[in-house]
Amino acid sequence: MGKKILIVDDDKELCAHITRVLTANGHAVTTAHSGAEARMKVVSVRPDLIILDIIMETDTAGFELINMLRSDRPNAKYREFKDVPIVVLSAIDRVTHSRFSLDDGESFLPGAVDFITKPVTPEQLLAKVDAH
């Protein structure tokens, strides 16, 4: 059985492409195009996995969403989602010229389980989804 996946990216064409790939492989996909929209959809969809861009409506929107979802504060609004795996799919490493993952893809980003540099092939994407 497929996973419920939330894709968060302001690039609507990329979201449509990823949605086609994932739904063709049995996953249920919901998209959000901003951090604010993602916060609402996390609650309504209750995803098994989140694929998240970093640079959206602001340069740090993805980081802010990760921080909200990973908060350990007892009264944190999204505490029940703190264990949902987040795979970052972003070109931030090219924009900042910083490294956000190891060669095997393991993420340096606290709160993310994996990092994929855009562009991504369907095979790479499916491998990451299957791994988490």
Residues 6 or more apart in contact with residue 20 via CB below 8 angstroms: none
Quote the radius of gyration of the chain (alpha carbons, Å).
14
Find the angle CA(4)-CA(9)-CA(13) to the nearest 5 degrees: 95
Q: What is the CATH number of the domain that holds 123?
A: 3.40.50.2300
**Which of 19-23, 65-69, 81-85, 115-119 is the least confident region?**
115-119
pLDDT band, residue 116 (cuts 50/70/90): confident
Backbone phi, then psi, for 53, in 5-degree steps?
Answer: -85, 160
> Could you tell me the two tokens for 33?
């195009």
> Could you tell me the two tokens for 41?
């959809």
How many independent structural domains does the chain possess? 1
Query: Is a pLDDT exceeding 80 seen at residue 35?
Result: yes
With contact defined as beta carbons under 8 Å apart, do 57 and 32 qualify? no
For residue 88, which of 58, 61, 16, 4 has the smallest C-alpha distance? 61
Question: What are the tens digits of pLDDT across the range 19-30?
Answer: 999 999 999 999
**Which residue in the block uniquely carries the two structure tokens 């855009």?**
118
Global pTM value? 0.88
Residue 76 DSSP one-character state = -
Q: Give the residue with greater pLDDT, 91 vs 129.
A: 129
Q: Which domain holds residue 68?
A: 4-131
